[in-house]
Amino acid sequence: MGMITDSSTVSSGSAPQLAHPPTPVPRISDPLKAQVESFNFFYANGFQALHGINMPIADNQVTALIGPSGCGKSTLLRSFNRMHDLYSKNRYEGRIILLPENINLIGPELDPIEIRMRVSMVFQKPNPFPKSIYENVAFGLRVRGETNKRYIDERVEKALRGAALWDEVKDNLDKSGFALSGGQQQRLCIARALATDPEILLFDEPTAALDPISTAKIEDLVVELKKTVTIIIVTHNMQQAARIADYTAFMYLGQLVEFDQTNQIFTNPSNPMTEQYLTGRFG
């Protein structure tokens, strides 16, 4: 009888075993917007979802997080804007440095609400608020205490233009956000995220619920937006990662297996597990 390795007997805090140990993260030549350093994450129930993540985030580039369901993509993405703070027993270890100021995004001294305006998130399912199109976009500005109507008008228009939605809604700003199609609702959520002038935009499978034409629009938009904002996107769609991401991170069992330029990951990965995943042998 062979030895059975039961992962449930691994003591808390030790990393799960990968068939091939992670490939060292290469130094990248692009200027950085953020740097994840020795990052661990523990859910409130004690489960360690992320193990020793080290990852550069290039400024004004698109970084894709890929890997099988449950590998920790959303957990990592949500750490960048402190979404896990909503449950006080969740715990971060290590650092996520925002550059150039060199501030630690997970530092307890920072206000998570302010961080969410600088690092804003777009979810898989479009989630407009039950408010007008205008108020959906103005939301973050109002939270910030902005009251100058002319200023808010300008910001709302700029954000809607940035999300490639202005021409479709400019005559209907008072209509409910729910009156829009799914693809338009997703662009409304992007406009809402853009209104506070974020430095990083986080996307968690933003096109998983959309038709191919709406998906193509969002992909074009992501490529356009990276001129002004750094983008991190979780996707299950390998073609999407290959089309729009400059860098790609392959994760498995809460570890970063391999990180590199996207074309390198897709054409000549260093780690055999990356190749096995990309060729559909697991996941």
Ligand X SMILES: Nc1ncnc2c1ncn2[C@@H]1O[C@H](COP(=O)(O)OP(=O)(O)OP(=O)(O)O)[C@@H](O)[C@H]1O
Q: Is there binding between residue 36 and ligand X (CB under 6 A)? A: no
Q: 119: which residues sit within 8 A by CB, 6+ positions away?
A: 80, 81, 98, 105, 198, 199, 200, 202
Retrieve residue 95's tokens.
């650092």
Task: Confirm if 51 and 251 have CB atoms less than 8 A apart.
Answer: no
Q: Is there binding between residue 12 and ligand X (CB under 6 A)? A: no
Identify which of residues 124 and 276 has a Cβ nearer to ligand X in the complex: 124
CB-side neighbour CA atoms (13 Å) of 128: 24
User: Which residue type, as a one-letter code, is found at position 48?
Assistant: Q
DSSP 240-277: HHHHH-SEEEEEETTEEEEEEEHHHHHHS-SSHHHHHH
Q: Which does 70 bind (CB under 5 to 8 A by kind): Mg ion, ligand X, none?
A: ligand X
Q: Which does 139 bind (CB under 5 to 8 A by kind): ligand X, Mg ion, none?
A: none
CB of 89 to ligand X, least distance (A): 10
CB of 128 to ligand X, least distance (A): 22
Q: Is there binding between residue 184 and ligand X (CB under 6 A)? A: no
Q: Is there binding between residue 69 and ligand X (CB under 6 A)? A: yes
Task: Count other Cβ atoms within 10 Å, centred on residue 80.
Answer: 23
- Measure the CA angle with vertex 124, ends 123 and 128; round to 5°: 60
What letter does residue 16 receive in the DSSP assignment? P
Identify which of residues 75 and 196 has a Cβ nearer to ligand X in the complex: 75
Q: Which of 51, 73, 82, 226 binds ligand X (CB under 6 A)?
A: 73
CB-side neighbour CA atoms (13 Å) of 5: 7
Q: Which of 75, 79, 215, 235 binds ligand X (CB under 6 A)?
A: 75
CB of 17 to ligand X, least distance (A): 15
Per-residue three-class SS string for 95-153: EEEECCCCEECCCCCCCHHHHHHHEEEECCCCCCCCCEHHHHHHHHHHHCCCCCHHHHH
CB of 46 to ligand X, least distance (A): 9
CB of 49 to Mg ion, least distance (A): 11
CB of 69 to Mg ion, least distance (A): 7
- Residue range at the interface with ligand X (CB under 6 A); choices 55-63, 66-74, 98-106, 189-197: 66-74
Q: Which does 88 bind (CB under 5 to 8 A by kind): ligand X, Mg ion, none?
A: none
Q: Is there binding between residue 123 and ligand X (CB under 6 A)? A: no
Binding site for ligand X (CB under 6 A): 43, 45, 47, 49, 67, 69-75
